[in-house]
Amino acid sequence: MIALALLAACTTEVPEQRTPDAVDLLGGSEVLLITPAALEEAWQPWVDWKNARGLPTAMITVEELDASEQGEDLAARIRAGLQRYAAQGTRFVVLGADAPLIPTREVSLWADAHLDDGYLVETFASELYYADLDGDWDSDGDGVYGEPEDAMDLMPDLVVSRLPARSSDQVSGFVDKVFAYERWPLTDYQDRALLMGEWAGTFSGFDFYSSSAQEALILPHLPSDFEVTRLYEQYDQYEGALDNTRQTQKDAFNRGQGFVLNFGHGSASTLSNLSLDDLWQLDNTDRPMLLATVECFGCAFDDPSPDHVACEAFVLAEGGGVAYLGNTTYGIGFPSLTDFYILFVEGLYEGLEDGPIASTFGEAMVDTQRAFPTAETLAAEGHTDRWTQMALVMVGDPTVEPWLGTPTALSLEEDAEGCWKVRADDQPAEGVSVTLYGPGEVQWRSETGADGVACTGTHPQATSVTAWRRGAVPAERTL
């Protein structure tokens, strides 16, 4: 079933002077969730919530795309469907299951990563296949995708993330965690950040520690009022930093953090010093996190072993987080990923190149993928930018909005008939999106003016009204 969320085209009850407030969302959904039919029911509360809070979200099954699209295999048919949806306005895609329930596209690549013992050569899963919709990823038809002689531009056209779930229980647990992040959040942890650093490698005879990059290149971009925990191997060189151990990492994760950035080594079965068991047992259930890392293989979600890999445990555990950005293969920490993450963090908290701050975690990733390489470095065989672009992967919910500080709380009450009054800290709240939703479709969405009032008209079918604004705990009423 495709649950397309479309606004009713007209309504007579909206006072005339209010109609320009209404946001025109006709023409398609902004978010497309692709799921195996077996997980569709578990995903429905997530789809309902995103629509209710004003983000038009549609769901389609893998089986439907398989039957309706053309292509050499299932991955190609899914990509053909994405090209069609993108043309209709879709910006975000969630691949709602683990591989191979939703297949991967394997690419073969080498990179000159300045190793003493040669080049990196790997075949790995690249989710960029679903995000870069231009051209043909195997234009020479030799069955090897993503080669320099194939014809894609390697610039993402969609924000793509995957929830590597294999069961309805895993999807339901994840949806609960998204609700804990953005629907009913505790408000005591959003202004915390965690930076982790360790010995990175030896370059030209010198030992290099990534704490120096965290201190000089990342820390200055974080909001000055954030409470930043710094876990470094060379902690004694930085005032206030702590030793980067399994125990200090566990403690910092269990407290809950708004944002975590790890410049360190990794594997499919570890997240820095934390084992898979540690990840499954994290108890920050009510304080879900956003995490980004340079680690090698931390998100090799296509690993065929029956165990989930580290990034999967992070998003599927009761604790952990709602989004993870990392690598499906080797991560090239220096220079490409360091360049990437300097811009990524700048985009999150200050805005890239004096532009607006990133709206969502997913857009922060894609905006940075568009900014950090050039067309020339992406096209150059063996270039580390090309590798990094194809190895980066996001798991979890790409539409979550990074918290910029402690949330305010919204309140919502009916004003005149068909109009809603929204307050934040007892003051009229401007620029709040007010959405009437249900059953199965958005009935109307409007935005509050300076008086804190938004008029939606009356829609007898609607089952909920939700007030949503970045940085605030949303307010909901059942109708």
Alpha helices by DSSP H, 193-289: 211-213, 246-255, 276-280
| Residue whose Cβ sits closest to Ca ion | 134
Q: Which of 98, 233, 339, 447 binds Ca ion (CB under 5 A)?
A: 98
**Which region among 11-19, 300-308, 342-350, 351-359 touches Ca ion (by CB under 5 A)?**
300-308
CB 170 to Ca ion: min, Å: 11
Q: Which of 30, 40, 48, 138 binds Ca ion (CB under 5 A)?
A: 138
Q: Residue 400: CB partners within 8 Å, gap ≥ 6?
A: 178, 181, 182, 290, 322, 323, 360, 361
Residue found by looking up tokens 């987080």 in the block: 321
Q: Which of 72, 73, 136, 153 binds Ca ion (CB under 5 A)?
A: 153
CB atoms < 10 A from the CB of 454, how many?
30
Q: Residue 168: CB partners within 8 Å, gap ≥ 6?
A: 38, 39, 41, 42
Encode 430-451: b = buried (16+ Cβ within 10 Å), e = exposed: bebbbbbbbeebbbbbbbbeee
Nearer to Ca ion, 140 or 243 (CB): 140
**Residue 142 near Ca ion by CB under 5 A:** yes
**Which region among 59-67, 96-104, 289-297, 446-454 touches Ca ion (by CB under 5 A)?**
96-104
CB 149 to Ca ion: min, Å: 6
Amino acid at 114: H
Q: Which of 301, 330, 340, 349 binds Ca ion (CB under 5 A)?
A: 301
CB 82 to Ca ion: min, Å: 12
3-class secondary-structure state, position 51: helix
**Which region among 154-162, 236-244, 426-434, 455-463 touches Ca ion (by CB under 5 A)?**
154-162
Nearer to Ca ion, 116 or 376 (CB): 376
3-class secondary-structure state, position 228: strand
**Residue 127 near Ca ion by CB under 5 A:** no
Q: Which of 13, 134, 188, 413 binds Ca ion (CB under 5 A)?
A: 134
The H or E element spanning position 130 is helix 128-131
**Which region among 143-151, 209-217, 386-394, 437-445 touches Ca ion (by CB under 5 A)?**
143-151
Q: What share of the chain is helix, strand, coil (3-state, %, to 5)?
A: 30, 25, 45
Q: Which of 144, 219, 357, 379 binds Ca ion (CB under 5 A)?
A: 144
In Å, the largest CA–CA distance within the chain is 75
Q: Residue 358: CB partners within 8 Å, gap ≥ 6?
A: 347, 348, 351, 352, 364, 367, 402
**Residue 106 near Ca ion by CB under 5 A:** no
Count of residues that bind Ca ion according to CB under 5 A: 14
Task: Give CA separation, 136 vs 129, 150, 151, in Å.
Answer: 10, 7, 5
**Residue 155 near Ca ion by CB under 5 A:** yes
Distance CA 61, CA 36 (A): 5
Distance CA 147, CA 137 (A): 8
Rg (CA), the chain: 22
Burial-class residue 38 by CB neighbours within 10 Å (0-12, 13-18, 19+): middle
Distance CA 25, CA 445 (A): 9
**Residue 132 near Ca ion by CB under 5 A:** yes
**Which region among 75-83, 162-170, 334-342, 443-451 touches Ca ion (by CB under 5 A)?**
162-170
CB 184 to Ca ion: min, Å: 29
Nearer to Ca ion, 128 or 290 (CB): 128
Nearer to Ca ion, 58 or 109 (CB): 109
**Residue 63 near Ca ion by CB under 5 A:** no
Nearer to Ca ion, 305 or 427 (CB): 305
**Residue 74 near Ca ion by CB under 5 A:** no
Letters for 255-294 (x = contact with Ca ion by CB under 5 A, - = none) are ----------------------------------------
Q: Which of 140, 227, 413, 451 binds Ca ion (CB under 5 A)?
A: 140
**Which region among 101-109, 159-167, 315-323, 440-448 touches Ca ion (by CB under 5 A)?**
159-167
Instruction: Indicate if the alpha-carbon torsion angle 158, 56, 177, 62 is positive or negative.
Output: negative
Binding footprint of Ca ion on the chain (CB under 5 A) = 98, 132, 134, 138, 140, 142, 144, 147, 150, 153, 155, 157, 164, 301
